[in-house]
Amino acid sequence: MFDVPVPDPAARAAALERLDGLVKPLGALGRLEEIAAWLAAAHGSVPPRPLDDVRVVVFAGDHGVSALSAYPREVTAAMVRVFLAGKSGVNVLAAQVGAKVRVADLGVDWDGADLPASVTAHKIRRGSGSIDVEDALEPGEAQAAFEAGRAIAREEGDADVLIPGDMGIGNTAMCAALVAASLGLPAAEVVGTGTGVDPAGLERKTAAVAAALARASGRVEDPFSRLTALGSACVAATAGFLVEAALLRIPVLLDGVFSGAAALVARDIAPGAERWWLAGHRSTEPSQAFALKALGLEPILDFGLRLGEGSGAVQAVPTLRAARAIIADMGLLADLA
């Protein structure tokens, strides 16, 4: 059992008092005020610290159900090189807000021997089992991947904000299965079109997730058993990353469906960790909506994004900075002449 710290209630109360005293009507800045108070509680100070050091960690891995995707699984390995070259969607978007991007290969199905050691230092395996017919991971691998994610969070432990990203063809089918198993939902309610499969592809994908849920029935109560049966090394590592960020008192911006699925499992492993997370944006995938509702999180942005990589959460960084600015820089009614 993890002893997850509680964001500072005294700092939150002081932040709310200051927000009510700013030169504006009560509550006039809406969600910005909620976020400002949340940041103050996370940092234990009013105003919160500047959010200068924002870091994205893209957890990469292949999935045995990737045949259901509109893209071949070889894309995952190719995209790892794109991240390293600084040319991916999240690289470009992160640069706009001064965020750094790191990619970690936890389960890409390739050798990758020529990659920098930092990329493969925490690799667990090559690919994962096809969850409709077999377990995703071998016994012990879910725990090992979870601990790898914790280690990665510690390596990024001086960040002001952490963002978990993802890359892996077949991600959304795996995430749908994890969310369904976590919340007791049928496959038909959680499966979406992912990378853009056609109606026939969606039907096949839904059938595969339903088969995975039936196969894993009775083995999903324990979160590590759930990860073994239905997850992947990269999603297990993301869960560990989220838990460790909470233990380190680092605010986290969740991205889309992948980090939502990981967050559900992380919350089951370390109840209370969710108090350190915000939802950066609303995904087009239905399973994310179920995950965020269960976590009690409301997305900051809704741009219709479905890229993954951490790209949606990165777009919410300016909103967090704006929330901090109002509590740090706006004048007080009491100071008016």
- Positions annotated as catalytic residues are 309
Task: State the virtual CA torsion across 283, 226, 238, 118 in degrees, nearest 10.
Answer: -130
Could you tell me which of 190, 207, 193, 326 has the C-alpha nearest to residue 260? 190
Burial class (CB in 10 A: 0-12, 13-18, 19+), 210: middle
User: d(Cα 59, Cα 168) in Å, to the nearest integer?
Assistant: 8
Could you tell me which of 119, 136, 117 has the C-alpha nearest to residue 79? 119
Could you tell me which of 151, 125, 127, 128 has the C-alpha nearest to residue 240? 151
DSSP letter for each residue of 178-203: HHHHHHT--HHHH---TTT--HHHHH
Long-range contacts of 296-302 (CB under 8 A, 24+ apart): 297/254, 300/31, 300/35
Residue 180 to residues 119, 148, 167, 221, 315, Cα–Cα distance (Å):
31, 25, 21, 12, 28
